[in-house]
Chains A and B, each alone.
Chain A
C-alpha cells in the first residue's frame, strides 16, 4: 500500500484565495483525520470521519474551514477565504478501528 497520500505537498497562496487540500486514506481504514501543526500550538485535530461520516468537527477553527469525505477513498479540506494565520502544515491520517494511526506527508500551506 502506498500509505496516506496528500496533495499538494506545498501550497503558497494569497490572502483571500480559496485553498483545497486533498487526501487519499489507506484502503480499508474506517477513520480519517485532519490535523494541523504549528510551532505555537503543536498538533491540533480539526475534524475526523468514521465510515465517511463526520464525527467531531469541534476543532475546525471557523466557518471558513470545511471538510468533506464523499467516499471511502477521498477527502478534502477547504479554506475559503484563506488568511495568513492559516499558515501551517496540514496532515491527513487514517486508522483502522482500534489500530495505529498512519499519517500522510502533510501539506505545507503558506498564506501571504
Chain B
C-alpha cells in the first residue's frame, strides 16, 4: 500500500526566504505526482503536476522535482511571501490496475511566512 510522508509538518520563515518542502513515497511505481495548496477552510488548488517520466516542473516561483527511483519529491519556493502561507500537500497516483487515477496524499506541511 502506497504511503506518502511530508517533512516538515510545519515551517515558519521570514518573508523573502527560499524554502524547500519534502515529500517521500514508499512505492516508486507511480503515474504522476502533484503538489497542492490548501488555504484554511478552502478546497485544494493544484500547483504542479509531474509525470513519472519527468524530473521537474516550474511555475513562477515554484519548482518541483521528482526522483522516482528514490521515492522523493521536493517543492522549492523562491523568495517567499506572506501570501504563500498555507498547507502544502503532496499526492501521488499509482501506476496500473484500479489504482489508476487515485491520489494518495501526504499529511501536508503547514507553511507560515511572516512579514
Contact = CB atoms under 8 A, between A and B. Distances in A.
Contacts of A98: 31-32, 51
Main secondary structure of the interface of B (DSSP, over half): strand
Contacts of B91: 43, 101
A6 to B, nearest CB: 8
Nearest to A58: B98
Nearest to B97: A56
Q: Please tell me the size bucket of the interface on A.
A: 20 to 34
Interface residues of B, number: 23
A70 interface: no
Nearest to A59: B102
B28 interface: no
B38 to A, nearest CB: 9
Interface stretch (B12-20, B41-49, B60-68, B69-77): B41-49
